[in-house]
Structure 1
Amino acid sequence: MSDNPFTVLVLCTGNSARSILGEALFNHLGAGEVRAFSAGSKPKGVPHPGALRLLERRGIDTTAFRSKSWDEFTGTDAPAIDLAITVCGNAAGEACPVFLGSPLKAHWGLPDPADVTGTDAQVDAAFEETWRLLEMRVRAFLAIDRAAMDKAALQSALAEIGAMEGAA
């Protein structure tokens, strides 16, 4: 793990589905170069069972995942955030918390798999699709040579990633 990993905060309203998957993907694929967290403006209190089932199928330990408020990331003892990403339309339109420093901001809106009702198989299929779309975005982000870009160029690249397939 890098001594100073790039930190990402994945935000959504409920912090139970998309943001949890985003946190998992960044930490899983970032190989220590990225450290991700997730939070919500109105956390549900627990991750969605569909998100936990998907992470377990992927071999990712789910014990550390919890639904939490973005307020945890605004205090002086909170980790510095380099990039805040909203993954749902609700959080993108809300007033974002003030983070110490000036993190980059991006919106990678995706349909909410937690809105899908039906059998576990139908719900799981929605979570798998969200995982696929988020994984595509995270891999695109990890392929960026951040050191070679100024803040404006990086902000532009983040917007392009947000407009990829499945954008909501």
Structure 2
Amino acid sequence: MTERTYNVLFLCTGNSARSILAEGILRRDGQGRFAAYSAGSQPKGMVNPLALKVLGDHGYPTDGYRSKSWDEFVAPGAPVMDFVLTVCDSAAGEVCPVWPGHPSIAHWSIEDPAAVGGSDANKEQAFLRAFEFLKSRIGTFLHLPLVSLDRFTMGTRLQAIGHLEEAGMTPSNGIDLHQR
């Protein structure tokens, strides 16, 4: 039996950097199992060029991204989400729309690379760090036994993924998020 495709929405305030990186990573790494989307509560209207550069530098597609409102995903005819993951603290603190289908919701705090000042090299390094954190978290998410987890356990596991780096934990050093 083939596992169904899960819809995942990454949210950030501006939908120009972190949520775009996450969408790009899951779009490729979860291909066939997941459909990745991103949106913002107050979209900037453009994707940060450094997000596209970092994706491209790591072999990820850089086309088809746009900064859009989360309102698109509550409109009639929008894909129903299975998972909604906020990747910035301000979006996590906002009152979100009521999502059709009652998806699992979690917060994965990632520092805003677009807020880093200084040289172009400093800015690009910030985007690279955000990319690496997101890639690690999404990699862990991809290995969850989704069909065998109840809603409560899924929520707990998603929240734990959002705190891996804070606690110095990674999937390879002792935490097992894949237990049934």
State the distance in 2 between where 1:165 and 1:82 align.
24
TM-score by length of 2: 0.88
Contact 1:133 1:166 in 2 (8 A): no
1:59 deviation in Å?
A: 2.5
What does residue 42 of structure 1 align with?
Answer: 42
What does residue 172 of structure 2 align with?
Answer: none
1:52 deviation in Å?
A: 1.3
1:55 deviation in Å?
A: 1.4
| Deviation digits for residues 139-158 of structure 1 (CA, Å, limit 9, x no counterpart) | 11111101111111111100
Query: Would you tell me which structure has more helix in proportion to its own residues?
Result: 1
TM-score by length of 1: 0.94
For these two proteins, the number of residue pairs brought into alignment is 166
**Aligned CA distance change for structure 1 residues 74 and 60 (closer, same or farther; 3 Å):** same
State the distance in 2 between where 1:96 and 1:155 align.
17
What does residue 30 of structure 1 align with?
Answer: 30
1:3 deviation in Å?
A: 8.1
| Deviation digits for residues 74-96 of structure 1 (CA, Å, limit 9, x no counterpart) | 01210010000000010000001
**Aligned residue type for 2:77:** D
Contact 1:12 1:41 in 2 (8 A): yes
Contact 1:10 1:38 in 2 (8 A): yes
| Deviation digits for residues 77-125 of structure 1 (CA, Å, limit 9, x no counterpart) | 1001000000001000000112211011000011100001122211111
What does residue 170 of structure 2 align with?
Answer: none
Q: What stretches of structure 2 of length at least 5 have no aligned partner? A: 168-180
State the distance in 2 between where 1:147 and 1:13 align.
31
